[in-house]
Every structure is written in C-alpha cells, then in structure tokens.
Amino acid sequence: MATAIPGDSPDMVAELAHEIPADEAAKHHLNIATPDQPWPSAGAAWYALAVIIFATFLNFFDSSAFGLLIELIKAEYGLSDSAIGLLQGPVNVVFYMVVMLPLSRMSDVYPRKYVLAVGALLIAFLNAAGGFAMTFMALAFTRMLVGAGGGAHAPGAYSMLADYFPPAKRRWPFAILQLGYIGGHTIGLVIAGWMLAYALTLPQTSLGSFTFHSWKYVLMMLALPGILAFALLLLMKEPPRRGGVVAGKPMPVRQVLDEMWRRRAVYGPLFIALGLSTAYAMAMPAWMIPFYKRTFGWDEVMIARTVPMFGLAGQLLGLFAGPFLIKALARRYRDANIRTVVICMLIACPLGIAAPLMPSPWLTLACTTVVGMMGIMGAVPQNLIIQEITPNQMRGQVTGLYLMMFTAVGAVGPFMTGILTDGLTHNVAYSLALLAAILSPLAVFTMSRAVKPYGAALDMLEADAKG
C-alpha cells in the first residue's frame, strides 16, 4: 500500500484512488465507527432527525407552493397544458438527473451535513431567483436548477439517520421522517395559500426592469426558511459511519455497480415499480389546482384550505399505521417490508383510478385520502429495504439512484397528463384516470416480483456478515 501524503489533510484525489492508508483516510473526513464505539446520543440523533424533517418539509413545500401558482403562471405566459406539465415535470428534473449521482457519491465521501446544508441554501436562492424571472424560459431555468438542490438532500439524509439510530430502532425514525414529505404536501400547501392570499393584496412594484406581483412575491418568500435550514443543518453533528465501510475508504464506482448488479433481482423491481407508481403520485398533486378549478369550480384559496386537510389526515394515519403493519407481518414473514409495500399498492390501485372520476369533490378527496395513506404506509418499508440491503459506503449512491427513478420517471406523470389533456381527452380528470389505469397495475405487478429476491438478499447479507 502506498504511503500517506504528508500533511494534516490528505489529498482527496489520492484518497479516492486508494493511495493512502486506511487510518489516514478515516482521520480525514470519513469518521468510521469502531466495533465497540457507542451510537450517538439520543439527543443528537433526535435533533438531527428534527432538522432533516424540516429540510425535507421545505423541499416538498417548494413543489406544493409552485403547483399552487401554476394557473397564474399559465395565464401570465399564455402556456398550454403540455407546457405547464413540462414545467412541473421534466424541466424540474433535467439538472437533477445530471447532478444526482455526483451528489449521491459526495454523501458517501464527504461529511453529509455539508452536502445537505449547501443543497438547502441552493434551493433558497433559486426560489428567490424565480421571482425575478421575466420570461417563461428564465423561470423554467430556475426550476431546472432547483432539482439540483433537491438531489443533494435525500441520499445524505437517509445515510445519516442510518448511522444515528441502531437497526432495531430505525423503524420509527424512518417513519417520522415522512412528516417532512407529508407536511410539505399538506400543511405546506395551506401555508402557500396564506402566502398567495397575502401576496395578492400587495401592490405591483418595479425594480429596474423587473416587475413584482402575486406569484413572484410568493417565490421570493420561499427563500427565507431555506436560509434557516442551512444554518440548522450546519449545527448537526456528523455521526461516524457504520455497516460495511471498507477500510475507511469510499467504494470505487465500479465496485458500487458490481454490488448493485449482485442484488439486481431486488433492486430492479424496486426501482421500476417506484418509478411507475410515482408517475401517477406526482401527477395528481401537480395538476390539483387545474383539476379542482376546472372540474368543481374551486379557486386556489379554497383548494389550499380544503384539500391538504384530507391529505394530512390520511397520510398521518399511514405514517403511524405503517410500522404496526410491518411489525404484524414480521411475526410471520421475514420479508415483511416488501410485503407491506405490495399490500399498500394493491389497495391504492383502484382508488387512484376512481378518484378523478368521482361526481363530487368530497368523494374525490375520500379516495385520494386513502391513496395517500397507503402511499405513506408503503414508503417507510421501501426506504428501510434500501438501507437494509445496501453497504454503508454505497448507501448514498444507491439511495440517489433509487430517488432518481422516483424523480425522473415520476416527472413523466405531470407531463403526460398535459399531453393527454391537449391531444386526447381535453379533460384533466379523464387524463389523470387514464394515467392511473395504465401505470398503477403495472407498478403492483412489478413490485410483487421483488418479494422472493428480497428474501434472498437478506440471506446473502447474513452470509456476508458471517464471513
């Protein structure tokens, strides 16, 4: 093995090439836990969880607030439904696709709190920049870059929490983490409604060639909590890494790919089914404002005050019911996590198809409430599966790929809804129902194909641990 590079801070390129001793790598930025080292204190762990929940909330609050503004943006720029579907879908993930894997690898190489903090700050600045957009293309560019900030969050967040909480205690923290997602899509929409109602009372103002009004004020307001998240994330303590860290060094990309290929029978169905199910799951919130306005005549403020409350109730029920379902199935099945996911998707499938076709908004809300409940119940075990079968030094990268499917394939849903509405159905409700009828059954079938491979992956993991 090559000798260490002199100095207090080893060269990063040399470390990535594995040209320094393991003990020097561990002294640098990879803080590796020894077998007898205690886990972080409960106070540090729960503080980190609270801050990560807040940062997660802001990620989804951003998308909820932007969705609330979409009809105003459409009217200002004279956009088609296909264009607003593009803006809420593919545009938001173009740059995300470019940076997700590098950012995921950074979560496996650098202190994760810095990766999370920079991502939060980037989103804050880009939201403010959206308020200065004078053209549709300028606004689309800011939305494209927002995806980069979002790509920095989840891989590092899940990896950190897996090192804060012992395996036997992860179920509830991973479940509670969903409060960020739930809050962003529900309470976040209510807050965005208040912000928009206030912004509509403000006079139109000019700054040089920029004119500010209504939705532009809201985008600038969204920047402020992101700066707070940046500061709180920096105050977290980086936990030492545990679970299969090889010699204190980051795993080479080729080895990451080899390990993923080794588990392809479980990763494949998980990734594909997630993308299929998310395409519809992202379409309904993205088109919520046009759907309720055009189908039932509700305005933005009415939607923001009503729809999130039903979503919040269903998702909170799912958040707390999910771990109990996993525990109940675990009494009989070792692969309880994947069985929970399949059951939840089976229940949600017909209700997701029926929801846009209901004759009243209240029946639609009843259906989407149950769909949201099942989605959260299934989300926790999906994330547990990834963290459980993936070695520590590649968790960030695998989680990044997994979430790339969530974001990239999911973004097709809002775009396809716009395409179907413009070119085929001419009715957003029919487009949403058609999309669900195509994608949801495929997602259920594909996820069911992961049940046996997941059990085999658990066996392989146990065999590797024994050595």
Tell me the pLDDT tens digit for each residue of 90-123: 676 666 666 666 777 777 777 888 888 988 888 8
Q: Is the pLDDT of residue 17 over 60?
A: no
Sign of torsion over alpha carbons 127, 128, 134, 138: negative
pLDDT beyond 60 at 10: no
Q: Which residues contact 74 (CB under 8 A, 6 or more apart)?
A: 83, 84
> Higher model confidence: residue 340 or residue 68?
340
Question: Which bin fits 17, alpha (ψ -120 to 50), beta or left (φ > 0)?
Answer: alpha
Least confident of 22-26, 160-164, 434-438: 22-26
pLDDT in the model for residue 253: 67
The pLDDT assigned to 257 comes to 77
In this model, does residue 181 exceed pLDDT 50? yes
Q: Exposed/middle/buried for 364, CB within 10 Å: 0-12, 13-18, 19+?
A: buried
Asked whether residue 1 carries a pLDDT value surpassing 50, the answer given is: no
- Give the residue among 174, 153, 152 at the shortest CA–CA distance from 163: 174
Name residue, tokens 């989605």.
Answer: 375
Residues of the chain above pLDDT 70, percent: 82
Both tokens of residue 454? 């997941």
* Token pair recorded at residue 372: 């949201």
Residue with tokens 């972080």, as numbered in its chain: 40
Mean pLDDT over 317-344 rounds to 86
The whole-angstrom separation of Cα 391 and Cα 256 is 9
pLDDT digits (tens, 9 = 90+) for 381-409: 887 787 777 776 676 667 767 777 777 77
Helix/strand/coil (H, E, C) string of the chain? CCCCCCCCCCCHHHHHCCCCCHHHHHHHCCCECCCCCCCCCHHHHHHHHHHHHHHHHHHHHHHHHHHHCHHHHHHHHCCCHHHHHHHHCHHHHHHHHHHHHHHHHHHHHCCHHHHHHHHHHHHHHHHHHHCCCCCHHHHHHHHHHHHHHHHCCHHHHHHHHHHHCCHHHCHHHHHHHHHHHHHHHCHHHHHHHHHHHHHCCCCCEEECCEEECHHHHHHHHCHHHHHHHHHHHHCCCCCCECCCCCCCCCCCHHHHHHHHHHCHHHHHHHHHHHHHHHHHHHHHHHCHHHHHHHHHCCCHHHHHHHHHHHHHHHHHHHHHHHHHHHHHHHCCCCCHHHHHHHHHHHHHHHHHHHHHHCCCHHHHHHHHHHHHHHHHHHHHHHHHHHHHHCCHHHHHHHHHHHHHHHHHHCCHHHHHHHHHHHHHHCCHHHHHHHHHHHHHHHHHHHHHCCHHHHHHHHHHHHHHHHC
Nearest to 371 by CA among 415, 300, 318: 318
Domain boundaries, the chain: 39-237+250-466
User: Which residue from 260, 242, 266 is spatially nearest to 465, judged by alpha carbons?
Assistant: 242
Cα separation, 311 vs 183, whole angstroms: 10
State residue 11's pLDDT score: 36
The reported pTM is 0.64
| C-alpha 133: how far from chain center | 26
Where residue 28 falls among pLDDT bands split at 50, 70, 90?
A: very low
Residue 457 has pLDDT above 90, yes or no: no
- Dist. CA 96–CA 151, nearest whole Å: 6
349: confidence class by pLDDT, cuts 50, 70, 90: very high
The mean pLDDT value of the chain amounts to: 79
pLDDT of the residue at 16: 33
Q: Among 83-87, 122-126, 346-350, name the one with the lowest average pLDDT.
A: 83-87
CATH of 39-237+250-466, one of 3.30.450.20, 1.20.120.550, 1.10.3720.10, 1.20.1250.20: 1.20.1250.20
Beta partners for residue 351, in sequence order:
none
| Cα separation values, 40 from 23, 47, 161, 446, Å | 21, 11, 11, 38
Give the pLDDT band of residue 27 (cuts 50, 70, 90).
very low
Of the candidates 371, 369, 349, the one whose C-alpha atom is nearest the C-alpha of residue 446 is: 349
Residue 466, judged by CB atoms within 10 A of its CB (0-12, 13-18, 19+), counts as exposed
Tell me the per-residue pLDDT of 234-246, one tens digit each, with 9 for 90 and over: 999 888 877 554 4
Specify the higher pLDDT residue, 261 or 226.
226
Query: Which amino acid is present at 237?
Result: K
Q: Residue 351 — very low, low, confident or very high, per pLDDT cuts 50/70/90?
A: very high
| pLDDT recorded at residue 42 | 86
Residue 51's pLDDT band (boundaries 50, 70, 90)?
A: very high
